[in-house]
């Protein structure tokens, strides 16, 4: 066993890491498909997504203290529920986060060069995969710089929208539905992805039993405030109909209120946030791929490490993400990603329930399953088919 990690992180550090994981590119794209689903009830969907995210993060925090290993819910499910559930959790994470990678890459494309968004997305994936293969990772300092820049740009956009001239908002006449709100919550769950990064710090924070729950609450609370402000600004500038049709919603919103000079700044900020998120996501997916390959849940060759880097896993993930970024629709990628990650956290909550019958894992498990099955039907059917392939691969391997 290697040496234990140093407990050097305090509450502020943990909160900043959580903010760095959550406030990123999702805020620039996730509101568009959510508005198409919920219309004027967008904020209710956002609140529901935040509640489910909090339950998931709390359950993950309890498990991370007991199992501070690489792999997250793949490890928790394996240890608490059995090998099959660990395999299914790891499979869900890989396919869900691979779709997240594609969505982040396409976010870069839509904000940098909308006319050739897919081409830019593929180029971004190739470049970052090469960097990861050489062991270039996003540092804590770079994370803080990206968070600070994104927060500054988002704040400028929100203030500008509310203080500028007359918006060109259009509001739909169709009444909202419960299904639409649930779909919006499931899609907005994508924007909260990354909050469980705090839960994996059990071996690195001082007084983890006290610090991690507080950091989760504070980071989620701050993120929710930012997201509510952005949602209100986008609805004010574009209305729910205009927001549902937007491809680069924040940039289009500032242009709609007469601030075209701010649009390039927003586009640069969105691209920066998406590139940072994409770098971290490719890294995370490849490490889970590595962990599953070591346990023979995936081809053993993917567990090969060169100079401290799992290059075969990195390249495989990069190729799959590049293919998705070249072919899929951004909204479809967000929906499919949300489905996979919701199943992943459903298993995390079920694992946490075995530690003691607390109400938070029950709420989290129920919320994850409800939001997963009420996503757009294409995302549900595709996600269910991919999960079935994962389950079948486990059965074939066992036999």
pLDDT at 2: 41
The pTM assigned to this predicted structure is 0.88
Q: Regarding predicted confidence, which is higher, 348 or 63?
A: 348
The answer to whether residue 300 scores a pLDDT higher than 80 is: yes
Rounded average pLDDT over 337-354 = 95
9 pLDDT tier (thresholds 50, 70, 90): confident
Domain boundaries, the chain: 11-163+174-394
Does the pLDDT at position 58 exceed 50? yes
Q: What are the start-end ranges of the H helices in the chain? A: 11-22, 26-29, 31-38, 42-66, 73-80, 83-112, 117-133, 140-163, 178-188, 208-245, 249-256, 263-294, 311-327, 330-353, 359-373, 377-398
What is the pLDDT, as a whole number, of residue 36?
92
CA dist., res. 375 & res. 14, Å (int): 31
Q: How confident is the model at residue 168 (pLDDT cuts 50, 70, 90)?
A: low
Tally of CA atoms within 13 A in the half-sphere of 162 that contains its CB: 10
pLDDT of amino acid 141: 66
State yes or no: pLDDT of 4 exceeds 70: no
Kindly tell me the burial class for residue 163, based on how many C-beta atoms sit within 10 Å of its own C-beta (0-12, 13-18, 19 or more). Answer: exposed
The whole-chain average pLDDT of the chain stands at 86
Indicate whether 285 pLDDT > 50.
yes
pLDDT band at 137; cut points 50, 70, 90? low
pLDDT of residue 235: 93
Residue 190, pLDDT > 90, answer: no
Q: Which residue has the higher pLDDT, 262 or 168?
A: 262
Q: Is 166 exposed, middle or buried, given 0-12, 13-18 or 19+ CB atoms closer than 10 A?
A: exposed
Instruction: Please tell me the class of the 11-163+174-394 domain.
Output: mainly alpha
Share of the chain above pLDDT 70, in %: 89
Condensed to tens digits (0 to 9), the pLDDT of residues 91-119 reads: 998 899 899 999 999 999 999 999 999 99
For residue 357, the model assigns a pLDDT of 76
Higher pLDDT, 202 or 71: 71
**What was the pLDDT predicted at 182?**
96
pLDDT band at residue 1 using 50, 70 and 90 as cut-offs: very low
Phi first, then psi: give them for residue 309, nearest 5 degrees. Answer: -125, 130
Average pLDDT rounded to a whole number, residues 13-38: 84
d(CA 316, CA 290): 11
Q: 341 and 298 in contact (C-beta within 8 Å)?
A: no
The closest alpha carbon to 191, from 319, 306, 335, 317, belongs to 335
If you average pLDDT over residues 314-336, what whole number do you get?
Answer: 93
Q: Could you give the angle at which helices 359-373 and 42-66 cross, rounded to 10 degrees? A: 130
pLDDT for residue 377: 93
pLDDT for residue 138 is more than 60: no
CA proximity to 349, closest of 338, 365, 366, 327: 365
């Amino acid at each position: 066993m290697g040496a234990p990690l140093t407990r050097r992180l305090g509450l502020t550090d943990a909160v900043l890491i959580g903010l760095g994981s959550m406030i990123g590119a999702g805020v620039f794209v996730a509101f568009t498909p959510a508005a198409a689903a919920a219309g004027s009830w967008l904020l209710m969907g956002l609140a529901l997504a935040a509640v489910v995210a909090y339950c998931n993060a709390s359950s993950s925090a309890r498990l991370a203290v007991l199992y501070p290993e690489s792999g997250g819910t793949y490890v928790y499910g394996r240890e608490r529920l059995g090998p099959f559930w660990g395999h299914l959790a790891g499979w869900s994470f890989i396919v869900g986060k691979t779709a997240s990678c594609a969505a982040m890459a396409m976010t870069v494309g839509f904000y940098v060069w909308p006319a050739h968004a897919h081409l830019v997305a593929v180029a971004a994936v190739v470049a970052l995969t090469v960097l990861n293969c050489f062991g270039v990772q996003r540092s804590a300092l770079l994370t803080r710089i990206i968070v600070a820049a994104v927060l500054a740009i988002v704040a400028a956009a929100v203030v500008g929208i509310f203080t500028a001239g007359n918006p060109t908002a259009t509001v739909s006449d169709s009444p909202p539905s419960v299904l639409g709100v649930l779909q919006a919550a499931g899609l907005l769950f994508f924007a909260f992805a990354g909050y469980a990064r705090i839960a994996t710090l059990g071996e690195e924070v001082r007084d983890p039993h006290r610090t991690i729950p507080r950091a989760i609450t504070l980071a989620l609370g701050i993120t929710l405030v930012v997201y509510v402000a952005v949602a209100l600004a986008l609805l004010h500038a574009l209305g729910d109909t205009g927001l549902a049709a937007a491809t680069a919603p924040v940039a289009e919103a500032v242009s709609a209120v007469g601030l075209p000079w701010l649009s390039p700044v927003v586009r640069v900020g969105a691209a920066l946030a998406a590139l940072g998120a994409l770098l971290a996501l490719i890294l995370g997916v490849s490490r889970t791929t590595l962990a599953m390959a070591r346990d023979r849940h995936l081809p053993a060759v993917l567990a090969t490490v060169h100079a401290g880097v799992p290059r075969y896993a990195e390249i495989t993930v990069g190729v799959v993400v590049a293919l998705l970024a070249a072919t899929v629709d951004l909204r479809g990628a967000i929906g499919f990603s949300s489905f996979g990650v919701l199943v992943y956290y459903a298993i995390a909550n079920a694992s946490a329930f075995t530690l003691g019958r607390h109400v938070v894992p029950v709420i989290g498990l129920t919320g994850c399953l409800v939001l997963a099955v009420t996503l757009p039907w294409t995302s549900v059917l595709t996600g269910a088919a991919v999960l079935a392939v994962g389950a079948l691969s486990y059965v074939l391997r066992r036999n």
